[in-house]
Structure formats: structure tokens, C-alpha cells
Structure 1
């Protein structure tokens, strides 16, 4: 028997047909585990997981986690929730229900099966931060009443639920705070800055920058992020929250210029008003991830952009299905 089969688990991934979820499902299968992918396909896409259907250890179930789920698994990765402003603001009440009701349902399942559960939280819990870079001990600067609040406050409430289930019921939890992530299988219409800039550049359209482009972000390639997920889940030294992201900081204008240059585009940069509550800066302090997980990102922006551009180039050419 292969060594990895001695530790074979049945793992539930909610939001498993999404951008991050589909990569996680692949990695878990590669490690020899059985995977139950649950998704309601609001933003997840069947095309993200079609290549996994032939694997006998992979199962896909259409389900919305705001309703209870009764399955037998060993571990849970809770990734279900729209993560881009375009999608989470379309139905803000449902977004908040996914964060709160969905977390309650998944935590209840973890309590019943006595299994470990991972929460995909977000750097949005820091809001428009007054501390830079952001440490896990920072409580954040968040508007509870704005158009982004359904997501920001939903994820903050989810972290509260995870900590309370841990303290009150002894549920074995892990919480990761995800910073901007990009790579193949991003939804082409999700409105996120990397996919927006790459698609606009490939199509020769104007590159739309919100604000003056001086606001900063830190971009983590998806493979690095999934490495961080798995390392956080496997260790027992910390339950989190733990920042998972690339600490290298870039302005939005620098990203736009890189997209134009790397695609050989003639696109021009145009500037539009900054959306409400859009943070001016976002950069993770990953000291905890380095010390507790032995993790730090390996793929830097230019290399990751090359892979992402190649993916969207094929998508726009009709060689990949949307």
C-alpha cells in the first residue's frame, strides 16, 4: 500500500467548484484523499472540476450550505462564499447568510463528526486598515453599514462563530485570512483587479483603474495559497487566524502597466472614481505563517502573471470553456 493511503481521508470542500476550491480539490486528490466537492454553482463553475470527474475518489454535490448538510467525512474545508464585490454585492443578504448560516451548518457538522474544520476567511476583515502591514492581532477598521459590509462583516462573524465553537464545544478549527489571490480558473467576470486588467489588455480595451492607482495590494499566486491552506490544516501549533498571502506590495497602477507590457497590448490606462470603502493599502504580515507553518510564497508576480495571462488567452480564444 502506498504511504499516503495509510492516511487517506474523506474531505469535504465547500465552494469546491470555485477558483480556490477547484485547486484545493485537485491537491487533496493528488495527496491520495477522497474528496466531496459541494457547491451551489452561484460563482463556482462545472468547467473548473470537469477534469476531476473521472477520478473515482472525487464526488460532486450541488448544495447550498445555508441549508444543513448530512454527510460522513473526516475533515472540512469551508470555502463557500462569493469573494468578489461584483458577486457578493449582487445579493448581499444571501452573502451574509452564507457566511453566518453556512458556518453554523458546517461547524455543526464538524462537531457531530468530531472532525477538523478550516475556515477561508479574508483580509477584508481588516477593512481599510490603519495599521500597515496587517498583523493577525489587528482588529480592523471596517464600515458595518456600507455596500461591502455583507462580506466584510459576514467573514468577521464567521471567525467569531469558529472561535466560539472551538471554546464552547471543543471543535478543532483552523482560520486562514486570505489576501488577494490570482491564477488560472479565476472567473473572467468577477471584477477582480488581476482578471480585469489581463482580459482588458488581451482584448485591447482601456484598462480601468479605480482611483488614481496609488492604492496598494499584495498578490499571491493560487498554488502558493493552497500550500498555505494545507500546511495550516496539517499542523497543530496554531488554530489561527493566520495571514496567507504574498507580502510583496504593488500599486494598482504598477499591476496595470505590467499587464499591458506582458500582453504586448496597446491598451490605455483610464481612471474612474474609487468605489465606496475600497481600502487604500493591503499587505500581510506573514511572520506567523513563516514561524508556525514554515510557509512563505514561492511564485512572484511576474511568473504568476505569465501563467494567468496564458490561461485567459486560451479562454478568450475559445480553447477553454467558461
Structure 2
């Protein structure tokens, strides 16, 4: 039996409170979610279930999954708080639910985005088949409102002259570099959305995140540093540590995505992330300090050119929807680390309060 997937109760309570003005817009409504069992989806489903129970919304959620029986077992506790309908398939081929959805959250991403696989052809095909099918379902439903998750990768490498990347930045990944398939795939997804302007679509360009359920064995530097620290091993930075990033906490992410779904301007892309910049070396140092891990290794030789910066401007989200960063970086690191430590202790039969 798979272990239940849990999100900290304190985070769920904060999400329910911060989204209080939104919940009645979802009362009695039907949401369709692709990618509902990944990092984003796990948080979204947990928050919706908590709000449904707390606010008596009568919410119905249909969740697309390649392995619905397995995922339903992992998330069975949520079904006690919310009506869930599991649909077998992928974003590119799932059967339309019998009841047309009022809202669609297209969170699905290519598996290789997490595993680090470099099958560019597969990634592009999955993305294009997914968005094409999701838009068809939206149109058949009578024009369901959509939130489509894209990525800051659509900007390619804007250059060090930009301390923050605005949505108006027109740089792009190199289309002749197969390693750019993820970013260019997301650009094509956005182009499909723009070509279907009759549908109410909001695009969320997501940057980097921290929080419970963040994989610690994938391509995410923050997760890898936490993995190293928990294992009592040196925290290892494989580059020179000068690259600049920012990290939005997962609880904040849920508030942002739900707000953009319901209040974002259709036909508009919004950067989703934190504007609190930190170098990779500084991130590793903060994690080391919070965990008591004394040893830090930076393997790369410092470069001579300007450091790569991947930090969003979030002015548009602030101005259109009143969104902000609720959880600072140190708190985000600590909550992520604490959850992973609790999971490890529970796994070995030591239950923490």
C-alpha cells in the first residue's frame, strides 16, 4: 500500500486563509486537472480538499493520471474531503469527463523535465499533444477557463544585464540546440494558447520553488542540497556557484496559481516565482547553516563572465492580482527540510510529533 501523500496542516490553513476571497467562485464547480499528482498537483489537490472541507464548497475535481489506481491509493485521504474522479490517460489522450469542467488546470509536464532525460523529440511531442488535446476539451466544454503552466525557461538566457526578467523580455532558447527542447516546448505551448484566443486562457510562467514533496533526487539544486545535508554528506555545488536564482515556497505557489486561474487576465502570461535573489553558493550556504552541515564543496572554477540570472520580475502579478511573496527564503528552506526529515523518520518507524 503506497504511503499517503500529506501536506503540512499549517500550510493548508494558510492557503485556505489567503485564498478566502476566491473560494466562493469555486463553490459547486467542477475542476479538471492534468498533472495532478506531481509536485504542483499534489499541493493544489491538497489545498482544494482542505478548502472544500472547511468552506463546504461542494467542489468536484477530475484528475488525469497515467496510473489512476496507484495515485488514488496515494491520495485516498483527500477523497474524504472532496469528490474526486480519476481519468486514465495522459494530457494528450484522456477521455473527456461526462460533466463538462468549469475550470481547467493544465499542470502536466513531460516526465523528462524531472528525470533529466534528454529525449528532445519525446518532450516536444508530449507538450504539443497535451496542449492541443486540453484546448479541444476546453472548447467542447463550452469555454472552460484555463490556467496553463509554462516556465521561465521560455526566456532562454536573457543575459546578466537583467537583474529580473519581465514578461516583455523577448529572448528565447536556441532552437538548434536539442537541449533547449524544454524551453522551446513551453514557448510552443504558449503559442497554441495565443492561437486559441477565443478561449479564456491564463499562462503561468513558473520559475523555481521549494517545499514539501520537492524531489531531492532530480535536477533541482535546492532539493539536491537538502538531500546531501540529510545524508550527512558535503553539500556539493557542481558549478561555480555564481548563478543567481530565486525560490517561491510551494504554499505561496498554490495561492498564486489559484488566484491567476480565477483573477488573471485571459490572454496574459504572468511570471510566477520569488524576486528574492540568491546565488547558488549562497543557497547552499544557507542550507548548510540551517542543517548544521559544516562542509560545502564548490566543484566548478569561477568564470570570468557575468553570472547567469534566473529571477523573475513579479510586478505584473502584483499589479493585476495583488500577489506577493508570503514566505521568505530561510523559512521556505526550513519548512522543506523539516518535512523531509519527518518523512525519513516516519519511514523508519520513528514517528515525530
**TM-score between both structures, scaled by the size of structure 2:** 0.81
The aligned counterpart of 2:84 is 58
**Residue of structure 2 equivalent to 1:112:** 140
- In structure 2, the residue matched to 1:266 is 294
Is the Cα–Cα contact under 8 Å of residues 126 and 140 in structure 1 kept in the other structure? yes
SS at match of 1:317: helix
Aligned twin of 1:67: 93
- TM-superposed CA distance for 1:193, in Å, is 1.0
The alignment status of 1:309 with 2:337, answered yes or no, reads: yes
Query: Does the 8 Å CA contact 2:260/2:321 hold for their aligned counterparts?
Result: yes
1:137 paired to 2:165: no
Q: Does the 8 A contact of 1:122 with 1:155 survive in 2?
A: yes
**2:40 aligned with 1:20:** yes
Instruction: Say whether 1:229 aligns with 2:269.
Output: no
Report the count of equivalent residues.
311
Deviation for aligned residue 1:46: 6.4
Structure 1 vs Structure 2 CA RMSD: 2.6
- In structure 1, what is the Cα distance between the partners aligned to 2:315 and 2:170? 17
- Post-superposition offset of 1:158: 0.1
Shift of 1:255: 0.5
C-alpha distance in structure 2 between counterparts of 1:316 and 1:262, whole Å: 18
- Give the Cα separation in 2 of the matches to 1:6 and 1:212: 46
Contact 2:106 / 2:147 at 8 angstroms: preserved in 1? yes
Contact 2:246 2:277 in 1 (8 A): yes
Please state if 1:49 is matched with 2:78.
no
- Aligned-pair CA distance for 1:306: 0.8
SS of 1:53's equivalent in the other structure is: helix
SS at match of 1:241: strand
For residue 80 of structure 1, what is the aligned residue in structure 2? 108
Residue 243 (structure 2) aligned to one of 215, 232, 236: 215
Aligned partners of 1:53 and 1:59 also within 8 Å: no
1:68 and 1:122 map into 2 onto residues whose CA distance is 23
CA distance in 2, matches of 1:47, 1:208: 36
Which residue matches 1:151?
182
| Farther-moved stretch of structure 1 (94-103 vs 139-148) | 139-148
Q: TM-score, normalized by length of structure 1?
A: 0.88
Following superposition, the deviation at residue 66 of structure 1 comes to: 2.1
Any unmatched runs of 5+ in structure 1? none
Per-residue deviation, 1:41: 5.7
- Residues in 2 aligned to 1:272 and 1:231: alpha-carbon distance in whole angstroms: 40
Q: Deviations over 1:17-57 (max 9, x none)?
A: 01111111122232432111212269x96676343133351
Relative to structure 2, which stretch is displaced further, 90-99 or 191-200?
A: 90-99
Distance 1:47 1:307 in 2: 26
SS in 1 for 2:196: helix
Q: Which has the larger radius of gyration?
A: 2
CA contact (8 A) 1:204 1:267 kept: no
Q: Provide the C-alpha distance between the structure 2 equivalents of 1:56 and 1:232, rounded to a whole number of angstroms.
A: 22
> Structure 1 residues 182 and 309, CA, compared in 2 at 3 Å: closer, same or farther?
same
